[in-house]
Amino acid sequence: MIEVDGVFRRYPDGREALRGVDLLIEAGEMLFLGGPSGAGKSTLLRLIAGIDLPSRGRVRLNGQDLSRLRAPAREMLRRNIGLVFQDHRLLMDRSVRENAALPLRIQGLSASDVDRRVEAALDRVGLANRGADMPMALSGGERQRLCIARALVGRPALIVADEPTGNLDQEYGEAILGLFRSFNLAGVTLVIATHDERLVRQLGGRHVHLDAGRVVSDAAVRS
Amino acid sequence: MMGTLQQQGYALRQAVRQLLSAPLAHLLTILVIGLSLALPVVLYRVVSDLGALARTQAGPPQLTVFLALNASETVIERARTALQARTDLASVEYIAPAAALAEIQRSTHLDDVLAGLDSNPLPGAFVVRPRDGEPAALAALQKALKLLPGVELVQLDAEWARRVYALGQLTERGILLLAGVLATVVLTVVVNTLRLQVLAARAEVEVCKLLGASNAFVRRPFVYFGILQVLLGALLAMGLAELAVMAVNQACADWLDPLGLVLRLQAPNPVEWAVLLGGALVMGWLAGAFTVTLFLRDWQRH
């Protein structure tokens, strides 16, 4: 369970990205964060993932107040969160397989476990036969799928995705959101920031709309 | 434990990958490190072996223990026994007054003058050679021998020893200083190379940190990279030092042997190599840890 309690986030340049956000996300929920650019979606995702800390207020993950944790403890916690970035953040000089394996390397898993889990993750996102390729050889949709494979390879209970369909055409976008739906059906909690209202309506779930750093609507959307 | 081993193995593979990513550039760095480490090693050998040659040429230091004039046989025997019992002396030789006078006659050709003497004015003396040629040890020995019964005077014939020793010490200090300067050069070169590596891998470091990597996980490949660079530099230094020793020995054989001076540099021994490799390991580790820690601190602040 994720509790966002009266959270403010002010950046060093003085810009206030979040202004008193309250949110409760139950385990196994699929939540879409919508809103215009600059509404605070990415900032909220970074706070939920423990990458940044709120200037005021609290973010609790399964009861743990992230602000009270030291950096190494937050890093440990982040190893159990699947992160999907809009700009993929892939290592361009490593193969698809090595990119997908990175979270497992960080966890220090054995080579056989890494191989087994990476193959399964790549298979799940339809990249099983691209393991030896370099990311440069992948299309935008494939790169995003690789990013998703990297997020799910550690078998996280929570996936946080920032505009996962942002640069993709409709077909790829639907395929990726379909993947997220399947993860959610398997019990994974998903928090997804997206502009794509149409895809949200297709999938259904809870839709929280942010504007100027505040929650302006919070409603269930039926697919 | 298994996880740690996996992470160490992964870090080592990453370090080797980094090294092979730009082989020519890294080869040049390794060459600079190799030359910087080889220079003090060779100089140390030159000074060490030249010092040994100087000591051989000048002969070992000696002390002359003069007994009282007309010392009885009993006193002489007591002194001999006391000297021979000392473990810090390599040899003890007695020169009787008559033998000393004969030696003076032979070397000075003052037969007429000496013939005019009523009696032999020379005392009996022991010439002793100490095991330790270090000036402080010689001075202490001189003091101790003076306290023996029947001993009138102890003369230390070691001016040359003091000079050789002082020169040796001075050169050794100089080499230590040079080694320190060159070690700093090596550290600077490695830190600079690592800094560029870390900057080039900034995106990778950021991704790792976002995915929850610890600082140790991020630091490890760079530490291994630093260690590998300096170790390869040290191995190159070993090869260069061996070559330099061979070249100097050939030159010595050509130029000094005809003059009756036999100087051969010894190749550094296993202990010296172990010190060099151990030092290289520590320098590589220090450079890697220092560079990445600074980078991470700066990165986390922003």
What is the pLDDT confidence band of residue B169, given thresholds at 50, 70 and 90?
confident
A63: in domain:
no
A87: helix, strand or coil: coil
Q: Supply the DSSP symbol for B122.
A: P
For A73, A83, A145, A186, A217, the CA distances from A161, given in Å and listed in that order, are: 22, 6, 12, 17, 20
Of A26-40, A150-164, A195-209, B4-18, the poorest mean pLDDT is in A195-209
Amino acid B116: pLDDT: 72
Which structural domain range is residue A139 located in?
A: 28-51+72-221
- pLDDT at residue B2 in the model: 61
If you average pLDDT over every residue of chain A, what do you get?
91
Say how many domains are in chain A.
1
Q: Strands, DSSP E only, in chain B?
A: 62-67, 89-95, 125-130, 151-157
A81 contact residues in B (CB cutoff 8 A)? 212
DSSP per-residue string spanning B127-166 = EEEES---HHHHHHHHHHHHTSTTEEEEEEE-HHHHHHHH
Which of the pair, B302 or B193, is modelled with greater confidence?
A: B193
Q: What is the pLDDT of residue B189?
A: 83
Residue A9 domain-assigned (yes or no) = no
Average pLDDT over residues B102-113: 74
For residue A213, the domain's CATH number is: 3.40.50.300
Interchain CB contact of B214 with A (< 8 Å): yes
Is the pLDDT assigned to residue A117 strictly greater than 90? yes
| pLDDT value at B60 more than 70 | no
B276 vs A137, more confident: A137
What amino acid is encoded at B145 in this protein? L
Lowest mean pLDDT among A57-61, B29-33, B95-99, B168-172: B168-172
Cβ A110–B206 below 8 Å, yes or no?
A: no
Task: Closest CB to A75: pick one of B6, B206, B214.
Answer: B214
Q: Domain boundaries in chain B?
A: 2-57+163-301, 62-157
B226: alpha, beta or left? (left if phi > 0; alpha if psi -120 to 50): alpha
The answer to whether residue A3 is domain-embedded is: no
Contacts of B21 in chain A (CB under 8 A): 93
Beta-carbon contacts below 8 Å between A and B: 55
What value of ipTM does the predicted structure carry? 0.90
Count of H helices and E strands in chain B?
A: 10, 4
Q: Which of A52, A105, A112 is the mutation pick for testing B, counting most B CBs within 10 A?
A: A105
More confident position, B156 or A157: A157
Question: Does residue A169 register a pLDDT over 70?
Answer: yes
For residue B161, pLDDT over 70 is answered with no
Cα–Cα distance, A81 to B36 (Å, whole number) = 48
Sign of torsion over alpha carbons A137, A142, A144, A148? negative
Q: Which residue in B has a C-alpha nearest to residue A80's C-alpha?
A: B212
Q: Do B211 and A110 touch (CB under 8 A)?
A: no
Structure tokens at B286: 């220090």
Average pLDDT over residues B232-252: 90
Rounded alpha-carbon distances, angstroms, from residue B213 to A67, B47, B142: 19, 50, 68
Nearest CB neighbour to B217, from listed A71, A80, A106: A106
pLDDT of residue B185 exceeding 80, the answer is yes
Whole-number average pLDDT of chain B:
84
Residue A167 reports pLDDT greater than 80? no
Crossing angle for the helix pair B159-200 and B202-210, to the nearest 10 degrees: 70
Lowest mean per-residue pLDDT among A145-154, B5-14, B160-169: B160-169
pLDDT in tens, B187-224: 888 888 888 888 888 888 999 999 999 999 999 999 99
Alpha-carbon distance B201 to nearest alpha carbon in chain A (angstroms) = 9
Q: Does B301 touch chain A (CB under 8 A)?
A: no
Residue A30, pLDDT above cutoff 80:
yes
Q: Which residue has the higher pLDDT, B87 or A170?
A: B87
pLDDT of residue A50: 94
What is the pLDDT confidence band of residue B157, given thresholds at 50, 70 and 90?
Answer: low
pLDDT in tens, A170-217: 777 777 888 888 889 999 999 999 887 777 777 778 999 999 999 999
Q: B62-157 architecture in CATH? A: 2-Layer Sandwich (3.30)
Of A101-110, B158-167, B236-245, B276-285, which gets the smallest average pLDDT?
B158-167
**Sorting pLDDT into bands at 50, 70 and 90, what band is A131?**
very high
| B1 in contact with chain A, both atoms CB, cutoff 8 A | no
The single-letter DSSP state of residue B268 is P
- Beta strands B125-130 and A205-211, pairing class: unpaired
Sign of dihedral through CA atoms B146, B148, B151, B157?
negative
Chain B residues within an 8 Å CB radius of A76: 212
Query: Shortest CB distance from B4 goes to which of A79, A80, A108?
Result: A108
Tens digit of pLDDT for each residue in A62-111?
A: 999 999 999 999 999 999 999 999 889 999 999 999 999 999 999 989 99
Q: Once rounded to an integer, what is the mean pLDDT over residues B30-44?
A: 86
∠ CA B103-B157-B93, rounded to 5°: 55
Average pLDDT over residues B45-62: 72
Question: Cα–Cα distance between A88 and A76 in angstroms, integer?
Answer: 22
Q: Which of B10, B21, B212 sits opposite A79 (nearest CB)?
A: B212
Report d(CA B264, CA B72) in Å as an integer: 49
pLDDT confidence of B55, banded at 50, 70, 90? Answer: low
CB contact at 8 A, A163 and A89: no
CB A211 within 8 A of CB A39: yes
CA distance A219 to chain B (A): 30
